[in-house]
Amino acid sequence: MAAYEATGGANPDWLNKGDNAWQMTSATLVGLQSVPGLVILYGSIVKKKWAVNSAFMALYAFAAVLICWVTWAYKMSFGEKLLPFWGKAGPALGQKFLLKQAAIPASTHYHANGDLETAMATPWYPMASMVYFHCMFAAITPILLAGSVLGRMNFKAWMMFVPLWLTFSYTVGAFSMWGGGFLFQWGVMDYAGGYVIHLSSGTAGFITAYWVGPRLKKDRERFPPNNVLLTLAGAGLLWMGWAGFNGGDPYAANITASMAVLNTNICAATSLVVWTALDVIFFNKPSVIGAVQGMITGLVVITPAAGLVQGWAAIVMGVLAGSVPWFTMMIVDKRWRLLTAVDDTLGVVHTHAVAGFLGGILTGIFAEPQLCALFLPATNSRGVAYGGIQVFKQIVAALFIIGWNIVVTSIICVAIRFVVPLRMPEEQLLIGDDAVHGEEAYALWGDGELYDETKHDKHYSENGKFASSGATQAV
């Protein structure tokens, strides 16, 4: 059959089966970070009454992004240039587009005098693999953002927020930094999303939390995880999935991918150990949730640098990843009025915005010239430690991402408020999952309890407004 011939059919001469297999594997690893990774982590790290709602926010965002991505958002991020920071919208659905060799049209890089410096990026696999890979990156970003507003955001508002934020915020960062936009052409370094994903989601999450408003006072004062062991399971999927997150960004199964995966694990492990040590030194107790936070900040900090720095630099970055966000979360957060005024449920501003910004700056310091030459389109790129001026570019790019997300996220939240409230009503906030979804995470009633109709069959507020229905009622 033609599909199995050496060339032609399903195996054109430009197809590298190894690269294609690694790219699809990497994409799937990134997808597993979201589903089930963050679904499990969110559903278990929150108070019991918000387990279903928090997990469902992640699951819904994953599905919504998939649809928007192939319908219009992929080409806004990696298509032909419309503006210096935005690509032309269009579908990525037809076989004529998806079966041809992958290419990023705006990625051709020129010297200042107009001479060609680096040709357009054309990986050795089909566009379908490229669309799928970057879809998983796009999907995880609003899920990370959701960590700031767990426990009170109106789900209907969330359903509107995800496609709007993907369209008007994420695609701008992706095209500007990766798709051939002005930051890409300027030589800004963001290996795998320290700015595009983490700085943007951390900033936007904090701004969204401001507009949505805080949780109930009693939820802010006491918000214990409902299942610490499942939190660790979700965190483990996040950590191991990062091999695809950082290993797939060279668009090939090459030596840069190997270096990136090793550096990722070095930095994450170092950060976790440092965060735990600081907890022991200052609070006399090693916190499991703290260790998870340290793991995440290590993964975030190394992301913009993973394939661009040496192993010893990954350790240094890990030490800073486990200490700087720890300091901002444990010390600054309790003393700075701006941070105390905004209810950021999981501290995403620290674990992603602070860590993402820190990682971008450290990339500008430690990026090694030979490693940069293996990956970056701008030749002769190097960090400050090697005589470059890269930190200046990194700071400017970070300010652009922060500023854009503050403005656009605010506009989106204000616009949604004209349609539906951003925050759940008080009666839903009091009850939680059963009021919002008619479902509960742990239906353990009846084990040694007397049967109580109001407690076991139906869950009412004082006015009897909320009753279980649908699948829950059937059970």
Rounded CA-CA distance 11/130 in Å is 17
Do the Cβ atoms of 398 and 422 come closer than 8 Å? Answer: no
**How far is residue 18's CA from residue 21's CA, in Å, rounded to a whole number?**
5
For residues 81 and 120, what is the distance between their CA atoms, to the nearest angstrom? 13
Topology of domain 24-417 in CATH is Ammonium transporter fold (1.10.3430)
At residue 441, the pLDDT reads 87
What are the structural domain ranges in the chain?
Answer: 24-417, 426-474
The C-alpha angle 307, 288, 263, rounded to 5 degrees, equals 10
Bond before 377 cis per omega within 30 degrees: no
pLDDT in tens, 88-130: 999 999 999 999 999 999 999 988 788 898 999 999 999 999 9
Is 348:149 a contact under the CB 8 Å cutoff? no
Burial track 359-378 (b if 16+ CB lie within 10 A, e otherwise): bbbbbbbbbbbebbeebbbb
* Residue 283 reports pLDDT greater than 90: yes
Please provide the DSSP assignment of 270-339 as one string: HHHHHHHHHHHHHHSS--HHHHHHHHHHHHHHHTTTTTTS-HHHHHHHHHHHHHHHHHHHHTGGGT-HHH
The pLDDT value given to residue 111: 85
What does the alpha-carbon distance between residue 315 and residue 361 come to, in Å, rounded to a whole number?
Answer: 15
Per residue in 131-153, pLDDT (tens digit) is 999 999 999 999 999 999 999 99
Residue 453 pLDDT > 60, yes or no? Answer: no
Q: pLDDT tens across 215-224, in order?
A: 999 999 889 9
Q: Cα separation of 164 and 467, whole Å?
A: 32
In degrees rounded to 5, what are phi and psi of residue 338?
-60, -40
pLDDT for res 472:
29
Instruction: Give the Cα separation of 65 and 475 in Å (integer).
Output: 31
- Residue 405 to residue 201: CA distance in whole angstroms: 8
